[in-house]
Structure 1
Amino acid sequence: MAYITSKKHGDSTRLKSSALASALLLALPAGAMAAESETVLPTVDVKAQAEQPAYKAERVSSPKQTQPLVDTPQTFTVVKKEILQEQAAATLSEALRNTPGITMLLGENGNTATGDSIFMRGFDTQGSIFVDGVRDLGSISRDTFNTEQVEIAKGPAGADYGRGAASGYVNLVSKNAQADDFTGGAAGFGSGDYKRVTADINRKLGFEGAAFRLNLMKQDAGVAGRDEVKNDRWGVAPSLAFGLDGPTRAYFNLLHIKQDNRPDGGVPTVGLDGFYNAAFDTGGAQAGKVPAKVDSSNFYGSLGDFDTVTADMFTARFEHDFAQGITLRNTSRYGKSSQQYVLTGVNAPNFTNANPALWTVARTRQGKDQDNTVLTNQTNLTAEFATGAVKHSVSAGIEFIYEKQAAYTQAGVGTQAAANLYNPSVNDTFIPVRPTGAMSKGDTATAGIYVFDTLKFGDRFQLNGGLRVDHYKTESESVSLSTAANNPTLPVGTLVGSALSGSDNLVSWKIGALYKPAANGSVYASYATSQQPPGGANFALNASANNINNPNVDPQEGSNIELGTKWDLLGNKLAVTAALFRSENKNEIVTNASTNETTQVGKRRVEGVELGVAGIVTQNWQISAGLAYMDPKISKGSTGGNSPTDGGVIQWSPKLTFTSWTTYKLPFGLTIGGGARYVDSVTRSSSTIANPAKTNMLNGPDYWVFDAMAAYEINKNVNLQLNVYNLADKEYIGSLNNSGARYSPGTPRSARLTANFLY
Structure 2
Amino acid sequence: MLTIRSRKHTLATQPLLNQSLLAMAAIGLPLAVHAQAQEKTMAEVKVEAGADVPYKADRASSPKLTAPLLNTPQSISVIRKEMIQEQGATSIVEALRNTPGITLQLGENGNTSAGDTFQMRGFAAQSSIFVDGIRDLGAVTREAFNIEQVEVAKGPAGADIGRGAAGGYINLVSKMPVREDSIAASLGLTQGGVKRGTADVTRSFGSSGAFRINAMAQDGSAKGSNALDRESKGFAPSIAWGLSTPTRLYLFSQHVRQDNVPDGGNPSVGMEGFYNAGEALRKAPRVDRNNWYGIKGDIEKVDADMFTAKIEHELAPKATLTNTTRWGKSKMDRIMTGIYTVAMPSAAPSTWTVSRIRQSVLQENKILANTTNIFSEFTLGGLQHTLSTGIELLNEEQFSPSRLASSLGAAPAAKLYQPDQNDALTGFKPVLSGAFSNGKTNTVGAYAFDTVKLNEQWQLNGGLRVERYTTSTDSATLNTATNALTGSHLEKSGNLASIKAGVLYKPAADGSIYLAYANSKTPPGSANLSLAAQNASNANNPALKPQKTSNLELGTKWDVIQKQLALTAALYRTTNKDEFPQLVDAVSNTWAQLGERRVEGVELGAVGQLTRAWSVSAGLATMHTEIKEGTSGNNAAGAASRWSPKVSATMWTAYKFDDRLTLGGGVRYMGEQKRLVDPSQAAASTNMPAIPHYTVVDAMASYKVSKHVSLQLNLYNLFDKFYINTLNNSGARATLGAPRYAQLTANFIF
Give the TM-score taking structure 1 as reference length. 0.93
Specify the alignment match of 1:588 in structure 2. Answer: 579
Are 1:427 and 2:422 counterparts? yes
Q: Distance between the aligned counterparts of 2:655 and 2:523, measured in 1? A: 48
Specify the alignment match of 1:317 in structure 2. Answer: 310
**Which residue type is aligned with residue 705 of structure 2?**
I
Specify the alignment match of 1:654 in structure 2. Answer: 645
Q: Distance between the aligned counterparts of 2:399 and 2:657, measured in 1? A: 54
Specify the alignment match of 1:441 in structure 2. Answer: 438
**Mean alpha-carbon deviation: is it higher for 392-401 or for 584-593?**
584-593
3-state DSSP of counterpart to 1:357: helix
Specify the alignment match of 2:295 in structure 1. Answer: 302
**Which residue type is aligned with residue 606 of structure 1?**
V
Are 1:564 and 2:551 counterparts? no
**Which residue type is aligned with residue 496 of structure 2?**
L
Specify the alignment match of 1:12 in structure 2. Answer: none
Q: Distance between the aligned counterparts of 2:606 and 2:228, measured in 1? A: 36
3-state DSSP of counterpart to 2:739: coil
Q: Distance between the aligned counterparts of 2:706 and 2:499, measured in 1? A: 52
**Which residue type is aligned with residue 44 of structure 2?**
P
**Which residue type is aligned with residue 61 of structure 1?**
S
**Mean alpha-carbon deviation: is it higher for 500-509 or for 351-360?**
351-360
Q: Distance between the aligned counterparts of 1:163 and 1:584, measured in 2? A: 16
Judged with a 3 Å threshold, the aligned counterparts in structure 2 of structure 1 residues 650 and 356 are, in CA distance, closer, same or farther, namely same
Q: Distance between the aligned counterparts of 1:592 and 1:337, measured in 2? A: 37
Shift of 1:28: 4.8
3-state DSSP of counterpart to 1:42: helix
**Residues 687-707 of structure 1: CA distance to partner in whole angstroms, max 9, x if unpaired?**
122235621100110011000
**Which residue type is aligned with residue 235 of structure 1?**
G
Specify the alignment match of 2:173 in structure 1. Answer: 173
**Mean alpha-carbon deviation: is it higher for 567-576 or for 693-702?**
693-702
Specify the alignment match of 1:40 in structure 2. Answer: 42
8 Å CA contact retained: 1:234, 1:257? yes
Q: Distance between the aligned counterparts of 2:733 and 2:21, measured in 1? A: 30
Shift of 1:324: 1.6
**Mean alpha-carbon deviation: is it higher for 604-613 or for 679-688?**
679-688
Q: Distance between the aligned counterparts of 1:370 and 1:643, measured in 2? A: 30
3-state DSSP of counterpart to 2:160: helix
8 Å CA contact retained: 1:319, 1:330? yes
3-state DSSP of counterpart to 2:109: coil
Specify the alignment match of 2:351 in structure 1. Answer: 358
Specify the alignment match of 1:197 in structure 2. Answer: 197
8 Å CA contact retained: 1:477, 1:498? yes
Q: Distance between the aligned counterparts of 1:292 and 1:97, measured in 2? A: 30
Specify the alignment match of 2:530 in structure 1. Answer: 540
Q: Distance between the aligned counterparts of 1:18 and 1:193, measured in 2? A: 37
Specify the alignment match of 1:531 in structure 2. Answer: 521
Specify the alignment match of 2:505 in structure 1. Answer: 515
**Mean alpha-carbon deviation: is it higher for 675-684 or for 224-233?**
224-233
Matches within 5 A, 1:246-395: 246-280=245-279, 286=280, 290-395=283-388
Q: Distance between the aligned counterparts of 1:717 and 1:53, measured in 2? A: 22
Judged with a 3 Å threshold, the aligned counterparts in structure 2 of structure 1 residues 416 and 637 are, in CA distance, closer, same or farther, namely farther
**Residues 301-350 of structure 1: CA distance to partner in whole angstroms, max 9, x if unpaired?**
11200100000000000001122210000000000000001111111111
8 Å CA contact retained: 1:6, 1:51? no
Q: Distance between the aligned counterparts of 1:187 and 1:590, measured in 2? A: 53
Matches within 5 A, 1:155-174: 155-174=155-174
Shift of 1:626: 0.3
Q: Distance between the aligned counterparts of 2:701 and 2:31, measured in 1? A: 30
Q: Distance between the aligned counterparts of 1:644 and 1:656, measured in 2? A: 22
Gaps of 5+ in 2: 10-16
Shift of 1:32: 4.2
Q: Distance between the aligned counterparts of 1:249 and 1:85, measured in 2? A: 29
Specify the alignment match of 2:14 in structure 1. Answer: none
**Residues 411-430 of structure 1: CA distance to partner in whole angstroms, max 9, x if unpaired?**
35464321110011011122
Matches within 5 A, 1:23-172: 24-25=26-27, 27-42=29-44, 54-172=54-172
3-state DSSP of counterpart to 1:540: coil
8 Å CA contact retained: 1:670, 1:711? yes
Q: Distance between the aligned counterparts of 1:621 and 1:67, measured in 2? A: 28
Specify the alignment match of 1:486 in structure 2. Answer: none
Specify the alignment match of 2:685 in structure 1. Answer: 694
3-state DSSP of counterpart to 2:425: coil
8 Å CA contact retained: 2:627, 2:635? no
Matches within 5 A, 1:462-541: 462-482=459-479, 491=481, 494-541=484-531
**Residues 25-44 of structure 1: CA distance to partner in whole angstroms, max 9, x if unpaired?**
45454344342542434368
Specify the alignment match of 1:10 in structure 2. Answer: none
Q: Distance between the aligned counterparts of 1:343 and 1:442, measured in 2? A: 24
Q: Distance between the aligned counterparts of 2:339 and 2:20, measured in 1? A: 39
**Mean alpha-carbon deviation: is it higher for 466-475 or for 180-189?**
180-189
**Which residue type is aligned with residue 666 of structure 1?**
F
Shift of 1:600: 1.4
Match of 2:655 among 657, 664, 675: 664
Q: Distance between the aligned counterparts of 2:418 and 2:7, measured in 1? A: 49
Q: Distance between the aligned counterparts of 1:29 and 1:425, measured in 2? A: 61
Give the TM-score taking structure 2 as reference length. 0.94
**Which residue type is aligned with residue 309 of structure 1?**
V
Q: Distance between the aligned counterparts of 1:76 and 1:571, measured in 2? A: 21
Judged with a 3 Å threshold, the aligned counterparts in structure 2 of structure 1 residues 189 and 157 are, in CA distance, closer, same or farther, namely same
| Higher relative contact order (Cα pairs below 8 Å, separated by 6+ residues) | 2
Specify the alignment match of 1:719 in structure 2. Answer: 710
Judged with a 3 Å threshold, the aligned counterparts in structure 2 of structure 1 residues 746 and 92 are, in CA distance, closer, same or farther, namely same
**Which residue type is aligned with residue 69 of structure 1?**
L
3-state DSSP of counterpart to 1:94: helix
Judged with a 3 Å threshold, the aligned counterparts in structure 2 of structure 1 residues 155 and 412 are, in CA distance, closer, same or farther, namely farther
Q: Distance between the aligned counterparts of 2:660 and 2:713, measured in 1? A: 14
Shift of 1:497: 1.1
Say how many residue pairs are matched: 731
3-state DSSP of counterpart to 1:227: coil
**Which residue type is aligned with residue 58 of structure 1?**
D
Shift of 1:478: 0.9
Shift of 1:638: 1.4
8 Å CA contact retained: 1:4, 1:718? no
Q: Distance between the aligned counterparts of 1:50 and 1:518, measured in 2? A: 20
| Percent of paired sites with the same residue | 49
Specify the alignment match of 1:283 in structure 2. Answer: none
Match of 1:710 among 696, 701, 716: 701
3-state DSSP of counterpart to 1:307: strand
Judged with a 3 Å threshold, the aligned counterparts in structure 2 of structure 1 residues 466 and 210 are, in CA distance, closer, same or farther, namely same
Q: Distance between the aligned counterparts of 1:356 and 1:623, measured in 2? A: 48
Gaps of 5+ in 1: 8-14, 281-285, 484-490
**Residues 545-576 of structure 1: CA distance to partner in whole angstroms, max 9, x if unpaired?**
41211111011111111000000111111100
Judged with a 3 Å threshold, the aligned counterparts in structure 2 of structure 1 residues 100 and 261 are, in CA distance, closer, same or farther, namely same
**Residues 648-692 of structure 1: CA distance to partner in whole angstroms, max 9, x if unpaired?**
010010010000000001136210000110000000123122235
8 Å CA contact retained: 2:105, 2:727? yes
**Mean alpha-carbon deviation: is it higher for 516-525 or for 113-122?**
113-122
8 Å CA contact retained: 2:53, 2:608? no
Q: Distance between the aligned counterparts of 1:309 and 1:93, measured in 2? A: 17
